Structure 1
Amino acid sequence: MATCTSIPLAIPKDGSLTKAMIKDIVGTFLTSEWPNVDPETLVVTKKTGYANTNCVVERPNPKGDTHSEPLKVFLKIHGALDGEIEVLKHLVPNKHEEAQLCYDYGQSGLGPKVYGFFQTQDGTFGRVDEFLDARSLEPEDVEDANIRAEVARGHAVFHSMETQLKKNPIQSYYDAVTRELARYHKMNKLKRLANEGGVSMDHLVDYDFVSRLRRVTDRLESIEGKKGWCIHDVQFMNVLVKNSPNQGESKIVLIDFEFVFQNYRAFDIGGHFLQKMFKWFDEENKIANCRPYTEEEKRHFCEEYSKQWNEKTGDSDTGEQVFMESELGFMLAITFEIRNMLCFMDQDGDKDPLNLLGLNKLFEEFVKQYKKLGLGS
């Protein structure tokens, strides 16, 4: 059970943490050796995070080379809700629910263990997790059939898992996202910012995503698209590849559950196919320098997914059924990304040309897929 522990310290408003503070946080949960560590001997490596502070914390190997507690842990400090999450606040898990979900996922052996969940005096939430010897999934990795199959099975298990989260109607999400897309439709501010960034986005801003998104969900309903616990933020950085997995253990780990709620499973599957084309944290180009998923690879993914889904649920879905759903889910995932990026532009005045080019690429993929599936007729 992920019980929230109060920790008697306050994190500065700039988010900076001293090594002494980090030692005290970790030592609250790992109580044998970590409390005796000299904080100045800690090696703290900050990891890139969009809204959160993520750190890998390593202590020296004790004398005699024996230790009962891990030498490395992963520390996550949750940031405040931003505009992207705020509009979905009624759907996404609160920090305690997210911690419980991560705890359950870790206890199942599928993900990192949660050592502790805490709140500081200033109201900040955070977690201390097991550090995994792993790297982020790269777009080229899924061209390996074995890795691709493991990612497919990992998503099928997550989508079908039992959780303590409330099952909100999926229409609640589509009501929220269509309201937002309608608000940005034909917004002159967005056109101006794009032009100032040297990239025209007029066609995207003037495009009626709302009516087209409704056609996509109507089609999913007509083919009885299945629903499950979707992660939504399925960029490749949120899939880890273990460097040295144990015998019989999955090489793939899914992480980052801030956006988990009920949706069409097609959202995450199509989103995974979409994300092979992008590297959002690259400083030189947001569009990945590799080929997209081929249809053959997509069908292989969907076949592996359906087998795992059926094993977990007792259903008898075919790979073809999952593939048909994923073709529609591809567009659901695009509208999620576009909505988030337009929100960022509107709130923060973003006109980074790399982001703008990424947005136009998303738009191009939506239009192409919508036409391919004959949804405009």
Structure 2
Amino acid sequence: MAIKTIESLKGCGSEEEIMEIICAVGSDLGDVKDDVNSLEVIPMKGAMTNEVFEINWEAKNGGGVRKALLRLYGDGVEILFNREEEIKIFECISKHGQGPRLLARFTSGRVEEFLHARTLSAVDLRDPEISALIASKMREFHRLNMPGPKKVQLWQRMRNWLSESKTICFPKDIKNFGLENLDEEINMLEKLLSEGYEDIGFCHNDLQYGNIMMDEETRSITLIDYEYASYNPLAYDLANHFCEMVADYHSDTPHILDYTKYPELEERQRFIRIYLSSEGKKPSNARVEQLVNAAEKYTLANHLFWGLWGLISVS
């Protein structure tokens, strides 16, 4: 059921500012009714960091409905990522034709192009056809030429998060979670993983099913939500995607990860072979195995990364 604008946006910051932005976007569309009573704002489920709404304008002369997506930023996320950097990345990815267009921005959020595609489910990640499409899209995404230093961001981000975790956790939690020794473990892991194969590219870093959309007609894949995107080892991003296959965030127990669902070796090999083949050149078995092994090692970094994220998020 659609919920009228003011009711939907209660408690969402400056309602007046948000409404001005929404009306301005509607005006830019040109063919929508200039009547706030015909405007609908529908809360969308699934977002973890932000509040997300579908905006519907009634078109003039019975022309149907025009849509956009309103994203209201969550509180306290500045600890986890730089919002200004995320906006720059969003705009740059959009210019590359890899994501939704930015229609407007304001103090507490932004309005984006509404993608007429469906968000994938946990089950979709295991569908061989869909998985192959994701693998090809990942390769394309990793090859984006983005602004900023093209060096690994993973380790420094984890160190920053560890420092923040120590600040906000109670002493007993610092001890229980072993945070006193984690600096040393991060250093050790960085050294060990950096010694082997390490191809660097622009990584999404949060490739769970909710951040992947598919157009049912064209079967095209779009990766969305770039809060954690940065240059990193490609093996890390692949490892993250494999780890996300064990999660179902729409179950009754979204916090429980089922590692019986972790992809078997053959499935990981198939995904990486398609990933490497997507540019038209068949990879050698040795190259596939090299990246499969590197991704397996980077699962350790993924667990550590999202473990620290969890400590900060619940504090």
- TM-score, L = length of structure 1: 0.68
Query: Alignment partner for residue 88 of structure 2, among 89, 92, 100?
Result: 100
2:58 is paired with a residue of what secondary structure?
Answer: coil
Q: Which residue of 2 aligns with 1:374?
A: none
Could you say what the CA RMSD is over the residues aligned between the two structures, in angstroms? 3.5
**Residue 221 of structure 1: how far off its partner (Å):** 1.6
Say whether 1:255 aligns with 2:253: no
1:40-97 deviation digits (Å, cap 9, x = unpaired): 112211124333221111122432437xxx7111111223433xx41x55xx4x43x4
* Unpaired runs of at least 5, structure 1: 1-11, 192-201, 348-377
Q: How far apart, CA to CA, are the structure 2 residues paired with 1:184 and 1:208?
A: 17
Contact 2:32 2:59 in 1 (8 A): no
1:86-165 aligned within 5 A: 86=79, 88-89=80-81, 92=82, 94-95=83-84, 97-116=85-104, 118-119=105-106, 124-165=107-148
**Residue 334 of structure 1: how far off its partner (Å):** 0.8
**Residue 33 of structure 1: how far off its partner (Å):** 2.8
Contact 2:33 2:60 in 1 (8 A): no
Say whether 1:321 aligns with 2:309: no
Alpha-carbon distance change, 205 to 135 in structure 1, aligned in 2, over 3 angstroms:
farther
AA of the residue aligned to 2:297: L
Contact 1:27 1:35 in 2 (8 A): no
Contact 1:167 1:262 in 2 (8 A): yes
Alpha-carbon distance change, 291 to 50 in structure 1, aligned in 2, over 3 angstroms:
closer
AA of the residue aligned to 2:89: L
2:231 is paired with a residue of what secondary structure?
Answer: strand
Q: How far apart, CA to CA, are the structure 2 residues paired with 1:222 and 1:211?
A: 17
Contact 1:45 1:55 in 2 (8 A): yes
Q: How far apart, CA to CA, are the structure 1 residues paired with 2:17 and 2:247?
A: 36
Say whether 1:270 aligns with 2:243: no
Count of residues in correspondence between the two structures: 302
**Residue 310 of structure 1: how far off its partner (Å):** 8.3
Contact 1:306 1:317 in 2 (8 A): no
Q: Which residue of 2 aligns with 1:194?
A: none
**Residue 215 of structure 1: how far off its partner (Å):** 3.7
1:1-377 aligned within 5 A: 14-15=11-12, 24-30=20-26, 31-33=28-30, 36-48=33-45, 49-65=47-63, 71-82=66-77, 85-86=78-79, 88-89=80-81, 92=82, 94-95=83-84, 97-116=85-104, 118-119=105-106, 124-167=107-150, 170=153, 171-177=155-161, 179=163, 187-189=171-173, 205=178, 209-245=182-218, 251-280=220-249, 282-287=251-256, 291-308=261-278, 318-345=287-314, 347=315
Q: How far apart, CA to CA, are the structure 2 residues paired with 1:165 and 1:34?
A: 39
**Residue 328 of structure 1: how far off its partner (Å):** 1.6
1:225 is paired with a residue of what secondary structure?
Answer: coil
Identity over aligned residues, as a percent?
A: 21
Q: How far apart, CA to CA, are the structure 2 residues paired with 1:317 and 1:46?
A: 48
